[in-house]
Amino acid sequence: DQQVKQNSPSLSVQEGRISILNCDYTNSMFDYFLWYKKYPAEGPTFLISISSIKDKNEDGRFTVFLNKSAKHLSLHIVPSQPGDSAVYFCAASVEYGNKLVFGAGTILRVKS
Amino acid sequence: SQTIHQWPATLVQPVGSPLSLECTVEGTSNPNLYWYRQAAGRGLQLLFYSVGIGQISSEVPQNLSASRPQDRQFILSSKKLLLSDSGFYLCAWKQGHEQYFGPGTRLTVT
C-alpha cells in the first residue's frame, strides 16, 4: 500500500519562478515529514522537515507546508535555480524517525 | 562531523553469486542504521534497520540479510543474487527525526 504518494512524476519550472512539489499521505499516525533531494547516482540529501504539530517550516529558499486535515504537504522553492534540478522525495516518519516511508519522487527541472 | 561511507560504489554480479555491501559511519556512536533500496524509477524501500550491535529488524522478506558486527558497521548480504536484486542500495543513519544517507552502491545483477 502506498502510504505516501507523489502524484506528479515530473515538474518543469523557469529559473526565478516558484517550484511547488506536492505530497499526499494516508496514515494519520505519521509524526514527522521530510523532503529529500537526490541527484543521479548519489544518496539523497536532507532538505527540510516539519513536525505533524506545525503547519509551516521555512529554511532559506525552501518552505514546507502541512495541511493535516487534507493529509497533504508541499515544498515551495523560491526562487528556483538550475541547480535545484533533481529528484525530490517526500518522506513520512513513524516511531519518531525510526522508520521513514518514501514517496516515488518528483523530477524537478529548472530551465534557465 | 558525522560521515557515512559505502562500498563498493558499483558492482556487477551474476545471478546466483553472493553479495556483501558494507556501510560504516564515523563521528557518532550507537547510531540507528538503515539499508534502503531504490529500484529504477521507484522510491526508496526500507529493507533493514538496526538500533544496536546484533539487533536487526527486517522490513521486507526476501533473499537479503543484514548484520551489524560493530557499532558503526552495517553489512547487507545475500547468498544467491536474483535479477530482481538489481538496484541502488543506500545506507543511512538517524539523528533526531532525520536520516542521513551515504553515497550508495549501484548493483547490477546479470
Checking if the pLDDT of A97 tops 80, the result is no
Per-residue DSSP letters for B40-77?
TT--EEEEEEEEETTEEEESS-SSEEEEEEETTEEEEE
> Closest Cα of chain B to A79: distance in Å?
25
**Terminal C-alpha separation, chain A:** 38
Our CA-based measurement puts residue B103 at a distance from the nearest CA of chain A, in whole angstroms, of 4
Chain B residues touching A91 at Cβ < 8 A = 44
pLDDT digits (tens, 9 = 90+) for B32-87: 999 999 987 778 999 999 999 999 998 886 789 999 999 999 999 999 999 999 99
Residue with cell 548493483: B107
Tell me the average pLDDT across A99-107.
Answer: 93
CA distance A78 to A72: 20
Give chain A's contact residues with B (Cβ, < 8 Å). 4, 6, 31-32, 34, 36, 41-46, 49, 51, 89, 91, 93, 96-105
